[in-house]
Structure 1
Amino acid sequence: MSEHRQPSRRHFLKSVAATGAVLPLGSQVMGSEKAGQPLANDRLVVATIGLRNQGKLITNQARQHAEIAAFADVDSRVLGENVEITAEQQGKKPDGYKDYRKILDRQDIDAVLIGAPDHWHTKIAVEAMLSGKDVYCEKPLTLTIDEGKLIEKVVDQTGRVFQVGTMQRSDCDQRFLQAVAMVKQGRIGKVKKITCGIDGMGGSPVIPITDVPTGLDWDFWLGPAPKTDYRALPKMREGYGGGVPLFSNCHYAFRNWHAYAGGKMTDWGAHHVDIACWAIGASDPNQRDNGNIKGASKITPLDFTLPVEHKDGFPVVEDQYNEATSFTIQVDMPDGIEMIITSGGDNGILFEGTEGRFFVNRGKIVGKPVEDLVDNPLPEGALEEVYGGELTSHMANFVGAIKSRKQPIADVWSHNRMLEICHLSNIAMRLDRELKWDPTKREVIGDDQANSFLSREYRKGFEISM
């Protein structure tokens, strides 16, 4: 599809810096197509970076719409398996690389799908946009709040299309769209409280240093994260995420470590807190234009358990999982709405208002306001109005956005506004105190130590290439 394209990243950023320009969302600087114009060829050419679990899933989804031209993964066994499987499925063998930058250097690739661990998301995404690629990136998008700001800036400056993989916005039998529409249509009156149940997670025994598995480039897997030894216990995980150690600091289990992820708080919070904020308009991207920023104002850790001792927000040992295993967080939202994020109770979202309450998750949507829809259904087109157009799968929405050069349903600004709540909840637990948040300035009020957690230092040699 592509004819590519672009001036060098360095030249592009120098030009932006010289003029002080910030391009509007949806504008296009680099690419073979002008903003708003149809693609020269309907068949996209894409590549996936990071192939375990979600990376493999989104590749399969993209194959319905695109040619899979290349893969990158630091685990040679996983890379080889996916190359061969995809070659058989699409009748054309994709190229395989250990270094994702070889994908970004190619001029025939239109978009990249990022399924790498969370600590890699921002570096790969920013460099992909600066190389002229549109991006689909798995959730949670960032490891820190400041990374979210950087991604937003580069989306604005390059005009690239960027979809975050919060699939509940599109998929799951439209239950979540129905929930958002019901709230926006006033079916529970004025919203008073929202409870997001996102499950907890277990701690770990002491995990010893051991040999790095054959085929895994451990140093490259760590990337921007601090240098450390590979740790694992021999017992293997079953089911989803199988084929890897049950306890480790790498594949699948990376979610349990501050250095690479945010535990259940950002893993499942990226789904349910997203729907909650969407329903009450607390992540509406149009807020940027009208200057009326509505967001969290206070985050209070009511109860929580960290599996290891922390000092000044950092774990004092490095041989056990360190993300919160259980928690109840209270978040003060706009218009007097109370949000509770908890590891207890049912996984899903409970909306409570002055005129009723209902519960939604991936298996059901229940409550009297739902039952009342039989006699008083939502207006025709209510779900489409919430969604912003024709209801599609999440990947189809991304492909459509590439063709229209408009941002998709899970845009980076909406995602980051709700993910800030999850990041702040983790910071509040690590520091064991309430945090007051300025949603306009996007900083913690009167707490320099807490603000130091809004960013992170990238390991030398793995800084973002700007």
Structure 2
Amino acid sequence: MSGFQQTSRRQFLQGVAATGVASLLLPGSQRAFGYQAANDRPVFATIGLRNQGWSITNKSFQFADFAALADVDSNVLGVNVERVEKKQGKKPDAYKDYRKVLDRKDIDAVMIATPDHWHTKIAVEAMYAGKDVYCEKPLTLTIDEGKLIEKVVKETGRVFQVGTMQRSESGQRFLQAIALIRAGRIGTVKKVTCGINGMVASPVIPKTSVPEGLDWDFWLGPAPKVDYRALPKLREGYGGGVPLYSNCHYSFRNWHEYSGGKLTDWGAHHVDIASWALGASDTGPSKVTPVEYSLPVEYKDGHPVADDQYNAATSFKIRVDMPNDVEMIITSEGDNGILFEGTEGRFFVNRGKIVGKPVEDLKDNPLPEGAIEEVYGGKISKNHTANFIEGMNSRKQPISDVWSHNRMLEICHLSNIAMRLGRELKWDAAKRQIVGDEQANSFLSREARKGFEINM
């Protein structure tokens, strides 16, 4: 038995019970969460370690042991190897190439926190390698990538969780919001507004030398080959220690080559909750209209002309026609959060508050017992990793599944395509194609750079 498989079942149960998720061990199970012997814990590896990669790893030590880490930046890798060793008392193996992680037979699951343009390739290859997968949001760079991931999940039978933590860790208020909608506390929903904030434009970002320790070509991976760009001023706070403006660490979110701006960053949170509340997690919109928007650079045929500045939308107001004649507005204006409006009332919810008369009325007219748990589908896990491991143990998909995530993320991707092309898009939710617009449909996928295709 390896050093990562020494924790006893009693110790493990004590740790789980302390988090309020002792139900993770299903009745009749003959082992804990590992897959070799009765006393095992699951063995994990994290691929992509800056910021969110460390965050999801740090939240998982109470449930799993980390045998390996992978990152294309040796500086980031080295720092996190030390962190993990300090946390669990054993040093994980370190790799630049994630494929060496996938070759390991002792690793049960991988946590993926790379930039978005790498998610699908690593996730698909991990599933074919027999690993369960936890992948950060937004799950995909394109809509067709989502279809591929769904296909491989079905084909391989792997458990796959998306890191949309508003469904559990930071989600009590959001679950309450959905329960209010289901209980009819605002009547028939007519409109939902998702405030997701905007982005700032960048100055011209010059070409410069690649930082020591970073394999820039490998970081680009499936994305087009370009020069590294950065300004010397460092970012403060979250994402600190990296340039304030660049086309790499942290700032990759501002480039369509690697991500989708605020639409897929915060949109992946609030549009998800809104779709869940509307019961539209397995359907989709009929039309997406860019009402107002601002792109920081000139576009031609849907592609940015400049390559030396951020290119994701800085401000926007998108109207989305949802099922049952519900209007969804996705906006960079106003408070970050979700406003639900119905025929009999309205309320607002975000990570810090849930306010409005229907919420105030709960004092005298509370929700039925178990209403919030019913939304979640059972006992609520306050740790997203706990819910993932519960799925690993039961072989059932967790609360943040790929199908509901992809359906709502299609709204975000379509919003970006609509702004890039400057026109409304009609969407066939059954065929998952844009209606009557060949040019727009060309944006549903993107060819990988040669040498970085998905190995299937």
Normalised TM-score (structure 1): 0.90
8 Å CA contact 1:356–1:368 kept in 2: the answer is yes
Note if contact 1:140-1:266 (Cα within 8 Å) is conserved in structure 2: yes
Match of 2:307 in 1: 318
Of the candidates 285, 288, 301, which is equivalent to residue 296 of structure 1? Answer: 285
2:176 counterpart of 1:186: no
For 1:99 and 1:219, locate their aligned partners in 2 and report how far apart those are by CA, in whole Å: 12
Equivalent of residue 395 in structure 1, options 382, 385, 391: 385
Point out where structure 2 has 5 or more consecutive residues left out of the alignment.
3-30
Q: Which residue number in structure 1 is paired with residue 323 of structure 2?
A: 334
Distance (Å, rounded) in 1 between the aligned partners of 2:67 and 2:39: 15
Instruction: Give the aligned residue type for 1:405.
Output: R
The aligned residue for residue 354 of structure 2 is 365
| 1:439-462 superposed Cα distances (whole Å, 9 cap, x missing partner) | 000000000000000000100000
Q: Does residue 348 of structure 1 match 2:346?
A: no
1:225 corresponds to which residue? Answer: 223
Q: Deviations over 1:32-57 (max 9, x none)?
A: x9xxx998555110000000111000
In structure 2, distance between residues paired with 1:298 and 1:38: 50
Cα distance in 1, alignment partners of residues 63 and 317 from structure 2? 41
- Are 1:381 and 2:379 counterparts? no
Aligned partners of 2:338, 2:86: CA distance in 1, in Å? 41
Q: Which residue of 1 aligns with 2:436?
A: 446
Q: Which residue of 1 aligns with 2:202?
A: 204
SS at match of 2:59: helix
- CA–CA distance in structure 2, aligned partners of residues 367 and 318 of structure 1: 45
Distance, in Å, in 1 between the alignment partners of 2:281 and 2:272 is 8
Give the CA deviation at 1:398.
Answer: 0.4
Residue 309 (str. 1) matches residue 298 (str. 2):
yes
1:461 matched to 2:446? The reply is: no
Query: How many angstroms apart in 2 are the aligned matches of 1:264 and 1:53?
Result: 18
Alpha-carbon shift at residue 295 of structure 1 (Å): 1.6
Call closer, same or farther: CA 1:42–1:364 in 2, change over 3 Å: farther
The offset of 1:124, in angstroms, is 0.3
Return the letter of the residue paired with 1:446: G
Deviation per residue, 1:188-233 (Å, 9 max, x gap): 1100000000000001000000000000000000000000000000
Tell me, in whole angstroms, the C-alpha distance in 2 between the residues paired with 1:59 and 1:208: 34
CA distance in 1, matches of 2:39, 2:279: 37
Q: For residues 118-133 of structure 1, what are the structure 2 equivalents within 5 Å?
A: 118-133=116-131
Which residue in the other structure is 1:280 paired with? 278
**What is residue 398 of structure 2 aligned with on the other side?**
408
Deviation (angstroms), 1:244 = 0.1
Q: Does 1:97 align with 2:90?
A: no
Query: Structure 2: which amino acid aligns with 1:266?
Result: T
Q: Which residue of 2 aligns with 1:170?
A: 168
- Map of 1:51 onto structure 2: 49
- The equivalences for 1:52-67 within 5 A come to 52-67=50-65
SS in 1 for 2:226: coil
The separation in 1 between residues aligned to 2:429 and 2:366, in whole angstroms, is 35
Match of 2:135 in 1: 137
Deviation at residue 171 of structure 1 after TM alignment: 1.6
Equivalent position of 2:21 in the other structure? none
What is the SS of the residue equivalent to 1:340? Answer: strand
Q: Does residue 1:116 correspond to 2:114, yes or no?
A: yes
Which residue is equivalent to 2:25? none
Which has the higher mean CA deviation after the structures are superposed, 224-233 or 275-284? 275-284
What is the CA RMSD across the aligned residues, in angstroms? 1.4
- Are 1:106 and 2:104 counterparts? yes
Unaligned runs of 5+ in 1: 3-32, 285-293
String of CA shifts for 1:339-377, please: whole Å, max 9, x gaps: 000000000000000010000001000000000111111
Report deviation, 1:85.
1.2
* Aligned counterparts of 2:286 and 2:275: Cα–Cα separation in 1: 13
Q: CA deviation at 1:407?
A: 0.2
Contact 1:38/1:403 (8 A) holds in 2: no
| Aligned residue number for residue 423 of structure 1 | 413
> Relative to 1, partners in 2 of residues 1:193 and 1:227: Cα closer, same or farther, differing over 3 Å?
same
Q: After TM superposition, where is structure 1 displaced by more than 6 Å over at least 4 residues in a row?
A: none
DSSP 3-state at the match of 2:403: helix
Aligned-partner Cα distance in 1 for 2:435–2:140: 22
Cα distance, 1:63 vs. partner? 1.0
Q: Determine the C-alpha separation between the residues in 2 that align with 1:39 and 1:178.
A: 40
Alignment match of 1:249 (pick from 236, 244, 247): 247
How has the CA–CA distance of structure 1 residues 41 and 411 changed in structure 2, closer, same or farther, with 3 Å as cutoff?
farther
Percent identity of equivalent pairs: 77
CA contact (8 A) 1:300 1:329 kept: yes
Aligned residues: 424
Match of 1:240 in 2: 238
List per-residue Cα deviations over 1:399-429 (Å, max 9, x = no partner).
Answer: 1110010000000000000000000000000
- 1:230 is paired with a residue whose SS is coil
> How many angstroms apart in 1 are the aligned matches of 2:167 and 2:83?
29
Q: Deviations over 1:284-341 (max 9, x none)?
A: 4xxxxxxxxx320000000000000000000111000000000000000000000000
Question: 1:38 touches 1:404 (CA, 8 Å); kept in 2?
Answer: no
1:61 CA displacement? 1.0
TM-score w.r.t. the length of structure 2 is: 0.92
Distance 1:39 1:180 in 2: 40
The 8 Å contact of residues 39 and 403 in structure 1, kept in 2 or not, is answered as no
CA contact (8 A) 1:255 1:263 kept: yes
Counterpart CA distance in 1 for 2:39 and 2:264 is: 37
- Kindly report which structure 2 residues correspond to 1:78-93, keeping only aligned pairs within 5 A, or say none: 78-93=76-91
